[in-house]
């Protein structure tokens, strides 16, 4: 036997304790019940749904269509209105660029606090000659900081506006936007509405007719499903014009080519089903834990500032979201010190960008407080013990860093 391999095996370091996970906005673990539902489609039922000439393909196709129907029913859509993608980023790109390429309008309206998977495609469209207006939100420290002022939206709309894109629930501050009223304003002027509902689906009751949206992006890995599978709701009546962004096999009624991820699709549907079954009990549980975490942080570190809407307004803030700034300590240094708690300083999708949170900047939070921010995301497997440990541990590390800075 190779001696190097033997040495590595003999002297492998012991497994380190896992940090307490409080970053559920970045991703979630796959629920064991979801994994069990997916497993047969990796091994026994591994067919390609596009293989129409034999039983393996038929079996996979039937599984996909059953999952499509289930997902559609859970959000109040028709099965033909669900387009499977690789995730919410692709769904957002397909919605924004796909509609822009099939319209005569030249103006799009969105919000400064949107996710980068909306802002970056809009910047690309702007470089191609489209006009893009990014709206301000209600500023901190207002109790509904982060929400869109609908009068501001009304004043921004123009005769050539063809699309408004606003996320339902913000991934950093948990702000829940008034989508239904926004959609009525837009539809009165014949304007399409796209909604990035990545952080909302499975955490809020989401029904596309109640919201009035024409396009809606969502994904599985935020709701205890697998990574690599998402969906775009595309309203069928009246039809939404959509130019495909991926060509190849003509799958998904020609709207998104590519071999379908069968295990991911069946897991997606099961994950959302479980979330909605458990939502009536889960949302208040998470809100209670979130408030307990904030109260303990504020008691230990009295200067702690809440970012985003007030915690006592469940209609405008996600139950499991907490974003705070802790002054007199650098956020990057604090994040590096928190080895036993997994949290973030913003969106996981912008971790390669060293710039501070564009969301907190858009709220008018002063630069020093933006750089001293932490985002906590609580989820299905978060316990009271996790919250208590995290609050005490963060306070301990803050005091240690402050002492070393003297």
DSSP state of 254: G
CA angle 359, 363, 367 (to 5 degrees): 80
As to burial, measured by CB atoms within 10 angstroms (0-12 exposed, 13-18 middle, 19+ buried), residue 188 is exposed
Q: Are 147 and 177 in contact (CB under 8 A)?
A: yes
User: Which ranges of 128-261 does DSSP label H, i.e. alpha helix?
Assistant: 150-156, 179-187, 208-211
Closest CA to 215 of 287, 108, 319, 329: 108
User: Which ranges of 109-247 does DSSP label H, i.e. alpha helix?
Assistant: 116-127, 150-156, 179-187, 208-211
- Distant-in-sequence, close-in-space partners of 141: CB < 8 Å, separation ≥ 6: 305
In our burial notation (b when 16+ CB lie closer than 10 A, e otherwise), range 119-146 reads bbbbeebeeeebebbbbebbebeeebbb
How many angstroms separate the CA atoms of 49 and 58, rounded? 6
From residue 167, how far is each of 194, 215, 298 by CA, in Å?
A: 8, 11, 29
Identify the three-state secondary structure at position 270.
helix
- Rounded to 5 degrees, what are φ and ψ at 269? -65, -45
7 catalytic per annotation: no
Q: Are 266 and 38 in contact (CB under 8 A)?
A: yes
Q: Are 281 and 114 in contact (CB under 8 A)?
A: no
Q: Are 222 and 199 in contact (CB under 8 A)?
A: yes
How many angstroms separate the CA atoms of 24 and 321, rounded? 9
- Which one of 7, 8, 186, 349 is the catalytic residue? 349
Q: Are 221 and 227 in contact (CB under 8 A)?
A: yes
Q: Which residues are catalytic?
A: 349
């Amino acid at each position: 036997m190779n001696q190097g391999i033997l040495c590595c095996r003999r002297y492998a370091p012991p497994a380190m304790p896992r940090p307490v996970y409080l970053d559920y906005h970045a991703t979630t673990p796959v629920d064991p019940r979801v994994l069990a539902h997916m497993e047969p489609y990796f091994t026994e039922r591994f067919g390609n749904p596009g293989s129409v000439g034999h039983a393996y393909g038929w079996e996979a196709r039937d599984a996909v269509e059953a999952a499509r129907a289930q997902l559609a029913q859970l959000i109040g859509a028709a099965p033909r209105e669900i387009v499977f993608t690789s995730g919410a980023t692709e769904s957002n790109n397909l919605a924004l660029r796909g509609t822009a390429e099939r319209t005569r309008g030249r103006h799009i309206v969105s919000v400064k606090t949107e996710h980068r998977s909306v802002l970056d495609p809009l910047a690309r469209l702007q470089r191609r000659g489209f006009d893009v207006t990014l709206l301000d939100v209600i500023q901190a420290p207002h109790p509904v900081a982060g929400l869109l002022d609908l009068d501001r939206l009304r004043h921004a709309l123009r005769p050539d506006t063809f699309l408004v894109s606003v996320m339902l629930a913000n991934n950093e501050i948990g702000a829940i936007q008034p989508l239904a009223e926004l959609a009525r304003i837009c539809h009165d002027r014949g304007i399409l509405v796209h909604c990035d509902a990545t952080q909302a689906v499975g955490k809020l009751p989401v029904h596309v007719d109640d919201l009035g949206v024409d396009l809606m992006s969502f994904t599985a890995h935020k709701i205890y499903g697998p990574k690599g599978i998402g969906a775009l709701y595309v309203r069928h009546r009246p039809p939404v014009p959509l130019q495909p962004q991926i060509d190849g096999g003509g799958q998904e009624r020609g709207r998104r080519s590519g071999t379908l991820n069968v295990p991911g699709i069946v897991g997606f549907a099961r994950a959302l089903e479980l979330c909605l079954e458990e939502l009536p009990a889960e949302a208040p549980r998470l809100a209670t834990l979130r408030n307990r975490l904030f109260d303990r942080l504020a008691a230990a570190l009295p200067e702690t500032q809440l970012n985003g809407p007030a915690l006592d307004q469940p209609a405008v803030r996600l139950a499991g979201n907490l974003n705070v700034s802790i002054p007199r300590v650098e956020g990057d240094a604090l994040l590096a010190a928190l080895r036993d708690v997994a949290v973030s300083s913003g969106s996981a999708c912008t971790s390669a960008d060293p710039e501070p949170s564009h969301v907190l900047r858009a709220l008018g939070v002063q630069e020093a407080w933006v750089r001293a921010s932490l985002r906590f995301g609580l989820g299905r497997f978060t316990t009271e013990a996790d919250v208590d440990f995290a609050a005490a541990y963060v306070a301990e590390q803050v005091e240690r860093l402050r002492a070393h800075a003297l």
